[in-house]
Amino acid sequence: FEKRKMLNYLSNLDFKDRDTQIYAGAAIGAVTAGFLVRRSIRKHRENAPIPAGAFPVSDLPKDCYDAIIVGAGPSGSVCGYYLAKAGAKVALLDKEAFPREKVCGDAVCTPAIHILKDMGVIDALVAEGKAKYADSGGFVSPAGLSYIGNSVHELGESAACAIKRYHLDNAVAKKAAEAGAELMEKFEVGNDVTFDAEKGLWTVKSVNGDVVKGRMLVCADGATSRLATRLGLCKAPAMGVSSRAYIANHNTEFDGACFYPRWSLPGYAAIFKHADGELGYCYYLIPAGKDMDKGQLGMVTADDLKRLHEEGIKIDPFISRAMGPEPKCQRMKAGSLRVGGQGVPKTYDEHLIIVGDAAGHIDPLTGEGIHTAMMGGKIAAESILKMRDAGNFTAEATKKFEQAWMKRFGHDFYWSQAFAEAIYRCPILMDAVANETQRSGDRFMSVWAEVATCMRPKTDFFRPSVAVPLAFALVREVFRQKVLGKTNYDMPLIANGKATGK
């Protein structure tokens, strides 16, 4: 009723009247000023130093750690490395012994490559034949438009590097140990994890009875995060899923490609060539649709993963061509994807932060999370060091970690999810990207690569230099598909009668 009254009032205003113009100008000025003041206050709070707290470094008991990091994957080990390098006492726990397997797409994007260079890891992996830069690559759109190019000369560096997690996780965990973190392998955290508010200390016990105590607890134990769930900070299971299999005896000459069949949008399949010549083949199913919180992954659900993975190898017209007539495929393995912070309302609490896949630091558009995990791990270390200097680990202090990662990459998740929904509902948008890439070549391919790898924000698609060519490409695609009826990404009916193509 009040809104209706306000609309009636505004509709009856005479904006030609001088007084009305003055009042309207004043109102707009007041709203603008209020916005700027609010923005200034928020920025001031984010940049304000952490006030001195009750737990200075000098009061830390000798048998305790500044930080206990549960999970020695990319986020946990990067956090441990930078903490230990700065002089903090770190316990880095992992339930497995290194090297160990991890189901992943193995694509290490540019921001992560920069961190690995800073840590002194990437050059060693390349020299040992365990990492391969992806210089040539591309994608196939839902309508079958394809482009393979080389964007290195446009970007000045590779947009991604293929590293098997067996090698990557081992390298970063051992590098954290070299920096001074105490790496505790086969330390499986049990149910006995408690916090003493008076002493400001966490006590973490393993299933075997081993005990560590520390000032800060960092949950970096993966997308399922049993620890964050047990502590009540993770409210829902991870909804996205992905597969992975290594392929030998294939036909692929380029370094990597993504395939976007419309029946699995916004999910997609991807292949990356590794340094040993094998292909890493993955299928990502990403949450989208009105029931995404109930397991909707576009037109499919997690139960379809195995079928889609196997069909891609056998009958998908593009993926099967890359595989060749007699590929040697390893057994498919699957993993969970917690994208865009799904199920984790906040990534901080008293003396605690959550980082990496456990925090949902996975891009909702691409399903990639190694680069965001590493960026989050470094931000976590920087945040903890500031808390350590101040002796303040309250929720007000740990909240600054969330503000920092949101500012660096988390703000982009909103647009990633929005674009994922758009592609799911209107596949022709992805065809327009392919259409313009075919027309402009590597120049436009580099734009897509930068946005997809978090080098530039998703909002770059709204820049006139990008949006205008895409608009014309969309018109061309509408004509090509709706008028000329041209598409060439179809598959036959599968055995159970479900159509995966038209």
> 315: phi > 0 → left, psi -120 to 50 → alpha, else beta; which?
alpha
Query: How confident is the model at residue 501, as a pLDDT?
Result: 38
Find out whether 151 and 159 touch, Cβ atoms under 8 Å.
Answer: yes
Which residue(s) pair with 206 in the sheet? Answer: 189
Name the pTM for this structure.
0.89
The gap from C-alpha 193 to its chain's centroid, in whole angstroms, comes to 28
Average pLDDT, the chain: 91
What is the rounded average pLDDT of the residues 490-502?
Answer: 41
Q: At which residue do the structure tokens 């000329």 appear?
A: 484
What percentage of the chain has pLDDT greater than the value 70? 88
Q: Is 340 helix (H, G, I), strand (E, B) or coil?
A: coil
Question: Can you say whether the dihedral through the CA atoms of 347, 352, 353, 357 is positive or negative?
Answer: negative
Contact 101, 166 (CB under 8 A): yes
Count the helix, strand and coil residues of the chain and give each as a percent rounded to the nearest 5: 45, 20, 35
Cα(228)–Cα(106) distance, integer angstroms: 25
* 59 within 8 A of 52, measured Cβ to Cβ: no
pLDDT greater than 80 at residue 185:
yes
Strand order in the sheet with 107-109: 107-109, 160-163, 131-133
C-alpha pair distances (Å), 391 with each of 54, 198, 234, 467 = 6, 14, 27, 48
Q: What is the pLDDT of residues 196-209, one digit of tens each?
A: 999 999 999 999 99
Residue 481 CB-density burial (10 A; 0-12 exposed, 13-18 middle, 19+ buried): middle
Residue 92: band (very low, low, confident or very high) from pLDDT cuts 50, 70, 90 = very high
Find the angle CA(126)-CA(132)-CA(138) to the nearest 5 degrees: 160
The residue assigned the tokens 């509902």 is 425
Question: pLDDT tens across 331-341, in order?
Answer: 999 999 999 99
